[in-house]
Amino acid sequence: MIQLDVSNATGFLPEDWLTSRTERLEQARGWLENGSGAGGSFTGWVHLPRDYDKEEFARIRCAAKKIQSDSQALVVVGIGGSYLGARAVIELLKSPNYNLKKKDTPDIFFAGNGLSTDALLEIIDLVKDRDFSVNVISKSGTTTEPAVAFRIFKNLLEEKYGKEEARRRIYATTDAHKGALKGLADSEGYETFVVPDAVGGRYSVLTAVGLLPIAVAGIDLEKLMEGAAQAMEALSVPGMDNPAWQYAAARHALYTLGKRTEILVGYEPAFRFFAEWWKQLYGESEGKDGKGLFPASVEFTADLHSMGQYIQQGERLMFESVVRFAESLGSFTIPHDPDNVDGLNFLSGKPLSFVAEQAMRGTLLAHVDGGVPNLVIQAARRDEHTVGELIYFFEYSCGLSGYLLEVNPFDQPGVEAYKKNMYALLGKPGYEAQKAELEARLGH
Ligand code: PA5
């Protein structure tokens, strides 16, 4: 099970950093368990690893098998919580180079997560001459970015295979009852999967939203859910040795002391998109009412040669949360060089993981000396079980943390502001007054 090492942060924290928060953590725990706190109708993810829809789970696995058998590529169309979780898990468990690897599962491309013409054209180019399927994911069914991309890939499929076969290659993950995508899926006869009402986008990776693309990549869903279920059991137990309580309390205490940025540190390139998922989870859950830690991320040791300077000596605004996997998946031994031209023979015969470990330990102490508290999240290895645990650990801690901060961790009203302006500027019917006002402000 995930453990948290706070020993490199306690020097910065008051002695009662945890005890002074246990009463509020106990209350937050109750709110999460019963859905009785702010945003309580969006706590369906809390018991999901145990109560997930087993019939749909079986359908996800069947659909994944079909896609694996009839497609060389899957295009996943979605944005925000409707794509980050799947990409995070696929990259962490398979590789950021998944598509380049020799494998018997389809390539996976993520589209509709922005409005870049060039990115879209590139994916079209990469799939158009291959057999492909599309998984369109949108809870609301009305989000502009995926809706635009879906129009394009739907047309592409229909031109390539005809309407009948195209509809067999389109999988829609959306609300069970409402929304434009649900209406379209029903009228066209696409196979549909559900984003449960009580689960918001950023907490949805363990629903069909994440699970279908993850299964297509050949990842063992049972083991992923088992890991999450084990974390659910462990983290529901109240107490000061609960790592989610410790993490939520430590980050809240550091925030109270003036730390304004939390940097999630990974030492694996495969962790990069997991950090993107984490940033959305914490950024959208806590960044509101003028409050919240700014979630940032770095990849060490690469970023020690860039952001490392700022972390060591810039504004003392941040702390780090380091995710440490105890074991590498493979091993590599540093070769001996008879000429020792680089002077590195003192490392000959040592595993690279030993060097990485010393880099991690040295960095930790240097940053602590530089005034940057470090929390270390200890995970076993990059496998399905551990990643399931990590997902649940971060989700549960985020719920607790949001309640400690006295915000609703399950809404995201701020996301609407840009949408309203964009709709107005695009001339969406009903936004005429705003359009004139915004254009006057923009000067044309
Ligand atoms: O966490 C969230 O709610 C958002 O990031 C949404 O997931 C994102 O805006 C996509 O929304 P939808 O699934 O409705 O298209």
User: How many angstroms does the Cα of residue 83 sit away from the middle of ligand 1?
Assistant: 9
Taking all residues of the chain, what is their mean pLDDT, rounded to a whole number?
97
DSSP code at position 55? H
Other beta carbons within 10 angstroms of residue 408's beta carbon come to 19
User: How many angstroms does the Cα of residue 413 sit away from the middle of ligand 1?
Assistant: 12
DSSP string computed for 362-379: HHHHHHHHTT--EEEEEE
The tokens of 95 are what? 């590789």
Interval 205-233 mean pLDDT: 98
Residue-level pLDDT at 444: 67
Residue-level pLDDT at 347: 96
| Whether the Cβ atoms of residue 105 and residue 216 lie closer than 8 Å to each other | yes
Best residue among 79, 285, 398, 419 to mutate for probing ligand 1, ranked by most atoms within 8 Å of CB: 79
| Whether the Cβ atoms of residue 194 and residue 176 lie closer than 8 Å to each other | yes
pLDDT band at 441 (very low <50, low <70, confident <90, very high): very high
CA distances from 392 to 71, 226, 286, 356 (A): 31, 11, 17, 27
Read off the pLDDT of residues 419-439 as tens digits, 9 standing for 90 and up.
Answer: 999 999 999 999 999 999 999
Atom 15 in ligand 1: which residue has the minimum CA distance?
A: 138
DSSP string computed for 72-117: SEEEEE--GGGTHHHHHHHHHHT-TTGGGS--SS-EEEEESSS--H
* Ligand 1 atom with minimal separation from the 81 CA: 7
Mark whether 419 is an active-site residue: yes
User: How many angstroms does the Cα of residue 110 sit away from the middle of ligand 1?
Assistant: 15
Read off the pLDDT of residues 243-302 as tens digits, 9 standing for 90 and up.
Answer: 999 999 999 999 999 999 999 999 999 999 999 999 999 999 999 999 999 999 999 999
* Ligand 1 atom with minimal separation from the 146 CA: 15
CA distances from 415 to 120, 285, 411, 420, 434 (A): 23, 11, 10, 9, 17
Interval 7-28 mean pLDDT: 98
pLDDT over 80 (residue 330): yes
Percent of the chain scoring above 70 in pLDDT: 100
* Ligand 1 atom with minimal separation from the 202 CA: 1
**What is the CB < 6 Å shell around ligand 1?**
79-82, 138-140, 143, 146, 200-202, 284, 412
User: How many angstroms does the Cα of residue 234 sit away from the middle of ligand 1?
Assistant: 29
Best residue among 76, 140, 197 to mutate for probing ligand 1, ranked by most atoms within 8 Å of CB: 140
> pTM of the prediction?
0.97
Read off the pLDDT of residues 134-166 as tens digits, 9 standing for 90 and up.
Answer: 999 999 888 999 999 999 999 999 999 999 999
* Ligand 1 atom with minimal separation from the 415 CA: 9
Residue-level pLDDT at 36: 97
The complex's ipTM? 0.97
Residue-level pLDDT at 315: 97
Atom 5 in ligand 1: which residue has the minimum CA distance?
A: 80
Is omega for the bond preceding 301 within 30 degrees of 0, making it cis?
Answer: yes
Read off the pLDDT of residues 341-377 as tens digits, 9 standing for 90 and up.
Answer: 999 999 999 999 999 999 999 999 999 999 999 999 9
